[in-house]
Structure 1
Amino acid sequence: MTNGNILIGEIIGTAVLILLGGGVCAAVTLKRSKAQGAGWLAITFGWGFAVLTAAYISLGVSGAHLNPAVTVGVAVQSGDWGQVPVYFAGQLVGAMLGAALVWVAYLGQFKAHLTDPETVAAHADPEGPVTTPDAVRHGRTPGGPVLGIFSTGPEVRNPVQNLLTEVIGTTVLVLAILTQGMTKGLGLSGTGVLITALVVVGIGLSLGGPTGYAINPARDLGPRIVHALLPLPNKGGSDWGYAWIPVAGPLVGGLLAGGIYHLAFA
């Protein structure tokens, strides 16, 4: 695959991934959305379908990594690091583009949610109530009321536990991908894409509760940057103090998965 193909494929694929994945978080979270309050099952299956759609779209162009942790795992297994920066660049740009498209698609709902007196009061009062809808934690948190649409955050803020949760979840994901054929630079098969989407749903259901299962550095960092840049009223902070965990944890998980595959399955 040429660098140009990789860049284009990863931008398009990751943009679709975040558009659909962030879209389900917006649908569940925002006031005046028909899906508000649909719950964690909707989010986990929404992200699984997002992976399925994005991977099928970009499979023939870039191999559908869509995740720096996957790129790292493949590089560890194959020993080929030459195109890793191109994959990373495409994934980050695509994630930012997808997050911006979520904002465009839900413009009216963002406005209704962020100007609602109840939402404003909950974040203006440091002693106000704390509620925890599935997609975003409201109330006394470092992040703002819609940050959970763009990026992840822990329910119990413990850096060591949070980091380990992301490492474990990503190791499972990348190992599952590698054993489906994404090795030595090869992409997944159609069946492998479906299996990977189901693995993402499984990880969300089983391991997503503590941190919201970023399991993808670009998926968290790109939209968090967009959240910080967008002109959203009363949006609150972007929780940059936590932002290193959903980047470092998945990268470590990708390294571990590549090493395990190399030792046990190659």
Structure 2
Amino acid sequence: MSSSDIFFGELLGTGVLVLLGCGVVAGNVLRKSKSFDAGWLAITFGWGIGVLSGVYVSTQLSGAHLNPAVTLGIAIDSGEWNDVPTYVAGQLLGAMVGATLVWLAYYGHFLAHLEHREVVGGSRTPGPKAFDADADHEERRKPARDEPGPVLGVFATAPEIRNSVQNVATEIIGTAVLVLLVLGIGLNDGLTVSGTGGLMVALVVVGIGLSLGGPTGYAINPARDLGPRLVHALLPLPNKGGSDWGYAWVPIVGPLAGAALAAGIHGLLF
């Protein structure tokens, strides 16, 4: 396959993955959405279907890695590194495109949510700056510059308990499971030819979300987290808060380390 096929295949596939994945989170988080507060089960299946859709629309072009961790694991296992930058560039740009489309699809809902009294903490009474108590209260409730904003979860992951060692370990374990499955599918030509492999990957993503997603939101994909986080930082949304760059390294380092671990285990056993 050519470099252009790889790039555009990964852009298309990752874009679809993130559009459907971040889209189900948006429907769950944003007020006025018909699927508001649908719950974790809806989110995990939404991401699984996003993976399935992304795989099937891009397999013929690029082989549907859709994830720098998967690309790294395959490169370590096969020893073929030439196309890695092309894969990663397509994945990152595709993730940004998918996140931008989610913003467009839910544009009015983002505004309604971010202007809601419970989200912004109440609007300040207009008038002369004689209401010092109100002004002080408003200053106190403003989030710190990089504090996660009220809609950051639509775009990027965040831990429930902020402990770097645990958070990285969780991402390593979840990604290792994913990459081991992907490499295992590569050993079975029947799964690859029949297309069943894509379904199995989607199902294991659902399983990872249900079993291991609680601590960190299971990024297990650096592009899936970094691309939408960049979009969150750039979007002109009122009261959106920070993009939590202090945590952003975890869903990059953890999945890449997990992919390397999985490739090492796979190489030793097979």
What TM-score, normalized by structure 1, do the two folds share? 0.91
User: 1:51 and 2:56 equivalent?
Assistant: no
Report the Cα distance in structure 1 between the residues aligned to 2:257 and 2:187, rounded to whole angstroms.
Answer: 18
SS at match of 1:23: helix
Q: Which amino acid aligns with 1:61?
A: L
Alignment of 1:171-250 (within 5 A): 171-181=176-186, 190-250=195-255
Which aligned runs of 4 or more in structure 1 are off by greater than 6 angstroms?
A: 124-128
CA gap 1:85/1:36 in 2 versus in 1, 3 angstroms: same
Q: Which of residues 170, 190, 196 is equivalent to 1:165? A: 170
Q: Which amino acid aligns with 2:150?
A: P
- The answer to whether the Cα contact below 8 Å between 2:185 and 2:192 also exists between their aligned partners in 1 is no
User: 1:65 and 2:47 equivalent?
Assistant: no
- How far is the alpha carbon of 1:142 from its aligned partner? 2.0
CA gap 1:99/1:188 in 2 versus in 1, 3 angstroms: farther
Counterpart of 2:259? 254
Counterpart of 1:20? 20
What TM-score, normalized by structure 2, do the two folds share? 0.90
SS at match of 2:186: coil
Report the Cα distance in structure 2 between the residues aligned to 1:231 and 1:199, rounded to whole angstroms.
Answer: 35
Report the Cα distance in structure 2 between the residues aligned to 1:173 and 1:218, rounded to whole angstroms.
Answer: 15
Report the Cα distance in structure 1 between the residues aligned to 2:117 and 2:72, rounded to whole angstroms.
Answer: 45
Deviates more, 1:113-122 or 1:101-110: 113-122
Structure in which a larger fraction of residues adopt helix = 2
Alignment of 1:94-105 (within 5 A): 94-105=94-105
Report the Cα distance in structure 2 between the residues aligned to 1:168 and 1:236, rounded to whole angstroms.
Answer: 30
- How far is the alpha carbon of 1:258 from its aligned partner? 1.1
SS at match of 1:205: helix
- The answer to whether the Cα contact below 8 Å between 1:72 and 1:254 also exists between their aligned partners in 2 is yes
CA gap 1:200/1:231 in 2 versus in 1, 3 angstroms: same
CA gap 1:42/1:209 in 2 versus in 1, 3 angstroms: same
User: 1:74 and 2:66 equivalent?
Assistant: no
Counterpart of 1:87? 87
Report the Cα distance in structure 2 between the residues aligned to 1:125 and 1:194, rounded to whole angstroms.
Answer: 49
Counterpart of 1:135? none
SS at match of 1:180: helix
Report the Cα distance in structure 2 between the residues aligned to 1:34 and 1:201, rounded to whole angstroms.
Answer: 22
Q: 1:204-231, CA deviations, whole angstroms, 9 ceiling, x for partnerless residues?
A: 0000000000000000000000000000
Unaligned runs of 5+ in 1: 129-137
Report the Cα distance in structure 1 between the residues aligned to 2:194 and 2:25, rounded to whole angstroms.
Answer: 28
Alignment of 1:124-139 (within 5 A): none
Q: Which amino acid aligns with 2:228?
A: P
- How far is the alpha carbon of 1:125 from its aligned partner? 6.6
